[in-house]
């Protein structure tokens, strides 16, 4: 179970409040982080020349062995073939599920692994096609499948639930009202199933469908889960591109594409920044401060509120602070909505994707915003 603590910067300096309001540079929607080293005042600079897409995605750092699951549902997913995807709904789900796992292992994140088609999966396929010199249409076909299936390791593996997984504490539910959130000691998970689904980058409904009849609250229970690859990227990230048009974040090491993530990036009403900025600091497990006197959303009558850390915190489990004051790249309490709703100007990833990205950046890593917002939806989460 995740331990909740106040965020500390890489070097363990004293804490302060960093602005994190994602639409108004003067707002004070804040994430707690440690004080960064002195830096130049943030300013917009002219965008650099676009980084050309590499022809080949780099190999992972290692190819660890994966034990196949003993579950009776696993073989048909481990051997699923795209040419059979249209035969039955079950065959289609199996092929989609295997494709999502293979893309995630290659660091072309589909977001939540759910066995369903959708915009995030299509964008991941398009990025994979571009990186491998294929025609780009975002559609699974035999050429894409053949390239992905070179990784012949099982798509599923087994995991035995531990006592730590089930000890909690768990919340009965996550309030929607910020004043109620602020009363909680931590914005933790609501159940062992939610915690395990996030750990294995899966939709909770899929996790339960693959494990019918399993009590996820019992230590010692064996469950079948997505067989993920190494969490660490195969190199340090020197440049991040936030693509507003594609709702996508791309991480580069020099000219080499290291990872691609689905993202929620601002909205037409509250756009993300323009131009080039940089990473200022990283805050794991950030708190979140809502100040209605400087924000245009929320219930002003609640007054200023501080919401404790946790994976269901409004900015998720990680905050990457940018030199664009009040803006950051952060996680989310609902990974299913990444890339599908609006935000208040910040860049929202799944908790696991932003954690992976945060571990590969450093102060000064370039963050370039490209494209234009495509989202006119008024609904927006807190970041």
**Mean pLDDT estimate for the chain:** 81
Cross-strand pairs, 279: 322
Which run of H or E residues covers position 361?
A: none
Q: Is 49 exposed, middle or buried (0-12, 13-18, 19+ CB in 10 A)?
A: exposed
Model confidence pTM above 0.85: no
**DSSP reduced 3-state for 327:** coil
**8-state DSSP, 342:** B
Mean pLDDT of 339-344: 59
**What was the pLDDT predicted at 144?**
95
As given in the structure block, the two tokens for residue 181 are 């959130």
Per-residue pLDDT tens digits for 303-334: 688 999 999 999 999 999 999 988 899 999 99
Per-residue pLDDT tens digits for 279-302: 999 999 999 888 776 655 556 566
**What was the pLDDT predicted at 11?**
29
- 84 pLDDT band, cuts 50/70/90, is low
**What was the pLDDT predicted at 289?**
85
CATH fit for domain 15-48+234-370, picks 2.40.440.10, 3.30.70.1230, 1.10.3720.10, 2.30.30.40: 2.40.440.10
Mean pLDDT of 101-117: 96
Domain residue spans of the chain: 15-48+234-370, 74-148, 157-226
Residue 103 has pLDDT above 70, yes or no: yes
For residues 176 and 341, give the distance between their C-alpha atoms in angstroms, rounded to a whole number: 16
Per-residue pLDDT tens digits for 4-47: 333 333 323 222 233 334 533 333 344 444 333 333 222 222 22
**What was the pLDDT predicted at 198?**
97
């Amino acid at each position: 179970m995740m331990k909740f603590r106040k965020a500390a910067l890489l070097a363990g300096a004293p804490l302060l409040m960093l602005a994190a309001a994602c639409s108004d540079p003067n707002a004070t929607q804040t994430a707690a982080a440690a004080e960064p080293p002195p830096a130049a005042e943030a300013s917009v600079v002219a965008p650099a020349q676009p980084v050309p897409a590499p022809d080949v995605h780099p190999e992972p750092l290692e190819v660890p062995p994966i034990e196949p699951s003993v579950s009776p549902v696993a073989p048909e997913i481990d051997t699923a073939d795209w040419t059979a995807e249209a035969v039955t709904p079950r065959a289609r789900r199996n092929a989609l599920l295997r494709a999502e796992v293979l893309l995630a292992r290659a660091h072309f994140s589909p977001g939540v692994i759910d066995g369903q088609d959708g915009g995030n999966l299509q964008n991941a396929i398009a990025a994979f096609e571009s990186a491998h010199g294929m025609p780009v249409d975002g559609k699974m076909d035999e050429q894409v499948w053949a390239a992905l299936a070179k990784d012949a390791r099982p798509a599923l593996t087994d995991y035995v639930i531990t006592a730590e997984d089930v000890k909690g504490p768990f919340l009965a539910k996550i309030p929607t009202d910020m004043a109620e959130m602020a009363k909680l000691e931590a914005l933790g998970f609501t159940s062992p199933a939610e915690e395990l689904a996030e750990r294995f980058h899966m939709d909770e409904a899929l996790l339960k469908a693959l494990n019918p009849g399993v009590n996820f609250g019992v230590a010692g229970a064996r469950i079948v889960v997505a067989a993920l690859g190494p969490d660490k990227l195969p190199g340090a990230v020197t440049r991040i591109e936030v693509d507003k048009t594609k709702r996508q974040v791309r991480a580069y090491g020099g000219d080499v594409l290291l990872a691609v993530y689905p993202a929620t990036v601002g909205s037409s009403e509250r756009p993300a920044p323009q131009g080039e900025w940089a990473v200022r600091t990283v805050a794991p497990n950030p708190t979140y401060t809502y100040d209605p006197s400087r924000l245009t959303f929320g219930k002003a009558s609640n007054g200023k509120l501080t919401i404790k850390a946790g994976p269901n915190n409004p900015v998720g489990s990680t905050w990457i602070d940018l030199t664009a004051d009040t803006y950051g790249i952060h996680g989310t309490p609902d990974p299913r909505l990444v890339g599908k709703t609006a935000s208040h100007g910040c860049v929202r990833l799944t908790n696991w994707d932003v954690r992976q990205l945060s571990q590969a950046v450093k102060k000064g890593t370039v963050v370039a915003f490209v494209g234009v917002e495509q989202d006119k939806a008024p609904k927006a989460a807190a970041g």
